[in-house]
Structure 1
Amino acid sequence: MNRRALLSLGALAPLAAQTQAQAQPRWSPDAPVRLIVPFAPGGSQDVLGRLLAQAAGPILGQTVVVENRAGAGGVLGAEAVARAAPDGLTILLATAGQLTIARAVGRRLPYDPLADFAPVLHLSDSPVALLAAPQLNLADTQALLGMARNAAQPMPYASTGIGTNTHLIMEDLKARERLNIEHVPYRGAAAAFNDLAAGRIALMFVSVPSVLAATGAQFKLLGVTSRERFPAIPEVPTLIEAGVKDFEASIWTGLSAPRGTPAPIVDRLAEAFRAAMATDLVRTRLGGLGVTPNGDGSAAFASLLRDDLERWTRVAAPLDIRLD
């Protein structure tokens, strides 16, 4: 065979490989897909998971079954996915509570929150809201920050638990703004709302879904931690607008698969669940759930996880949090 013929064959080889790859059908699940929701039924994450499962099933051509695996702050559910076969048939509705914050606050985890999962899709974001006791008669965020900086005694603030988003976000604000405040953890938002209304608690961060659901609760809503104003409460400014430079925080939700899940499966899952987020079934419910869609793919979601872990590790380091 002469040199010209060899060169021609060399030029055709990449084209043949590309044609073969294009001819391969997209991955399609051959059995129902289990979406592990690491929370009990009824909460906003569970509702979101069920909406997505209902919308994504027809897109994937297979039923998506929600399986609630609550316990240990969501760690049990995440562990089930980390140990599952990397075949696309078991996926996790992931939050920081099982991945980044869990590692940042020193929880003993039966998995590596970054290495043992394949990031699929950054589904959505929900800001938290800054609330103040009505008795403080504060006009805005800057008035609260000024009061907290100059307080003779530490002002008590509530969180929904030690090592939670609401705890670490307030500690981040405390460090940045040099606030004289002290932590009072609660088991959820309801009891904290009662003490805030009574003035026993001065301030707190709480999820926007909790604010939207708190009919009749007494508090002063000062700001939200999103970069843009939240559509369901457009009259409430962001903390950035209120003068807290670059202060942004989100309770994000993502989709993760077991480590080693092949890229075509990851891509197909991302495509299907991104399309599910855009359906009328899901889109019309997002505002009421206190979330906004995101849609960033695997690489961007992986970057978010690394950045989130670095931020909350830095915030948690001086707090000496002990959970186990």
Structure 2
Amino acid sequence: MHDVPLSHRRRRFLAQAAVGLGTGLVLPRVGVTQDDKWPSRPVKVICNFPPASSPDALVRAISQPLGQALGQSVVIENRAGASGMIGAEAVAKAPPDGYTLLMTAGSTITTNPHVFAKMPFDPAKDLTPVAALARLNLFLVTRGDFPAGNVAEFLSYLKKNPGKATYGSAGNATGLHLAGEMLKSQAGVFAVHVPYRGASLALQELLAGQIDFYFDPGIALQHVKSGKLKLLAIGAPQRSPLYPDIPTLHEAGLKNFDAGTTHGMYAPAGTPAPIVERLNREINTILATPAAKQQIANLAADATPMTPAQFDALMREDSKRYGAVIRERKITAT
């Protein structure tokens, strides 16, 4: 049999295709990929901090509406430990198919690479930014009977009494610790750092009068309202809408003081762009709803809808700023 010329083959294929369409035969659509079918099963979000933590509260605030938008359930799994690295490593090494995501505090991305000599993964290379959920600011809070009623008096006391005041944190190299060191560096003061195993323990000691102040992630504000503690300033560039009369540390003279961190969602590197884009779009839509805004406000945080590229740029800037503080103050994780 002689070969059929290529032009004849093409015409024959097109004729057969037309017949197939006429008989109801479904031909493959050019460019169809597995991304078009995503998600076809439940999506798992690994939160690398424990239940009731701020990352956990944020992901639970969006999980149900996100599941409704995707048409599949969103399952949350808490894998805490090692400053968030256990859960983050699990996602970094998961298949990049959109079915395993990470919900993390910003510190895992911005701080850990600067304080751990070795990490089991590289956040910059092994994780893809998906969506920023909220910016959590820190509040400078003192015990109720601390001899200072405002930031100026507070800084004056520290300068006149070097080493006499103590401040707590959620542990070495945590955001609360870095904020305290930033204050000491910029104000030229010295206070003794007392690390605890979590912010709630530091708060308990502050309420008991065992320490003098700490940077609060939002859990102490109820005690500020009751008068047991004093809120002196916000560790952020802008005032908090929750406390519009409370000044920022920048206003108090600590130029550009920003101890905030952005919690957000990541996917394994290599996750198809259409999946990342859809997740980003759905999450940003949810963040604009009154219900999500209220739940985020309950954490004394601000919703931060942005593109993956904007999220990535913000985290790189935070990492640069915190890295400088860590090197200057010689901070380690131990």
TM-score interval for Structure 1 and Structure 2 normalised by the shorter chain = 0.7 to 0.9
Query: CA 1:149–1:283 in structure 2 vs 1: closer, same or farther (change >3 Å)?
Result: same
| Cα RMSD after superposing both structures | 2.5
Amino acid at match of 2:112: A
Instruction: Provide the C-alpha distance between the structure 2 equivalents of 1:319 and 1:242, rounded to a whole number of angstroms.
Output: 22
> Given the two structures, how large is their TM-score scaled by the length of structure 2?
0.83
With over 3 angstroms needed to count, the CA separation of the structure-2 counterparts of 1:62 and 1:124, relative to structure 1, is same
Partner residue of 1:314 out of 297, 319, 324 = 324
Q: Secondary structure at the match of 1:135?
A: coil
| Structure 2 CA distance for partners of 1:214 and 1:251, relative to 1, 3 Å | farther
1:60-111 CA-to-partner distances (Å, cap 9, x unmatched) read: 2221111111122221110111011111111111222322211121253210
Task: Give the match for residue 73 of structure 1.
Answer: 83
What secondary structure sits across from 1:180 in the alignment?
coil
For structure 2, the residue ranges without an aligned partner over 5 or more in a row are 1-29
Partner residue of 1:282? 292
CA distance in structure 2 between the aligned counterparts of 1:241 and 1:319, rounded to whole angstroms: 23
Q: SS where residue 124 of structure 2 aligns?
A: coil
The aligned amino acid for 1:120 is V
| Alignment correspondent of 1:305 | 315
Of the three residues 120, 123, 142, the one matched with 2:152 is 142
Q: Distance in 1 between matches of 2:242 and 2:210?
A: 28
Decide whether aligned partners of structure 1 residues 300 and 180 sit closer, same or farther in structure 2, where only a CA change above 3 A counts.
same
Query: What SS does structure 2 have at the residue aligned with 1:84?
Result: coil
Measured after TM superposition, the shift of residue 178 of structure 1 is 0.7
8 Å Cα contact 2:237/2:258 also seen in 1 = yes
Partner residue, 2:218? 208
Structure 1 residue 40 corresponds to structure 2 residue 50: yes
Question: What SS does the corresponding residue of 2:159 show, helix, strand or coil?
Answer: helix
Are residues 244 and 62 of structure 1, via their aligned partners in 2, closer, same or farther at CA, if it must alter by over 3 Å?
A: same
Equivalent residue in structure 1 for 2:269, among 259, 273, 278: 259
SS at the partner of 1:67?
Answer: strand
**Residue 177 (1) aligns with residue 187 (2):** yes
Higher RCO, 1 vs 2 (CA within 8 Å, ≥6 residues apart): 1
Per-residue deviation, 1:208: 1.6
| Bigger mean CA deviation after superposition, 180-189 or 79-88 | 180-189
Query: Partner of 2:189: helix, strand, or coil?
Result: coil
Contact 2:94/2:268 (8 A) holds in 1: yes
Partner residue in 1 for 2:143: 133
Residue 14 of structure 1 is matched in structure 2 by none
Structure 1 residue corresponding to 2:249, chosen from 228, 239, 248: 239
1:143 match: secondary structure: helix
Do the aligned residues in 1 keep the contact of 2:169 with 2:202 (CA within 8 Å)? Answer: yes
CA, structure 1 residues 108+233, in 2 after alignment: closer, same or farther (shift >3 Å)?
same
Q: Which amino acid aligns with 1:71?
A: G
Q: 1:190 to 1:266 in 2, by over 3 A?
A: closer
Identity, in percent, stands at: 36
Contact in 2 for aligned 1:27/1:264 (Cα 8 Å): no
Q: Are 1:212 and 1:290, in contact at CA under 8 Å, matched by a contact in 2?
A: no
Please give the per-residue CA displacement for 1:268-320, whole angstroms capped at 9, x wherever unaligned: 11001111212333222221122210112111111122212222121112444
- Structure 1: how far apart are the matches of 2:199 and 2:133? 24
Distance in structure 2 (CA, Å) of the matches to 1:240 and 1:266 = 36
Structure whose alpha-carbon radius of gyration is higher: 2
Asked whether the 8 Å contact 2:107–2:261 carries over to 1, the reply is no
Q: 1:78 to 1:107 in 2, by over 3 A?
A: farther
Provide the residue aligned with 1:5 in structure 2. none
Structure 1 residue 244, shift from structure 2 partner? 2.4
Task: Give the total of aligned pairs.
Answer: 304
Is the aligned partner of 1:250 residue 2:260?
Answer: yes
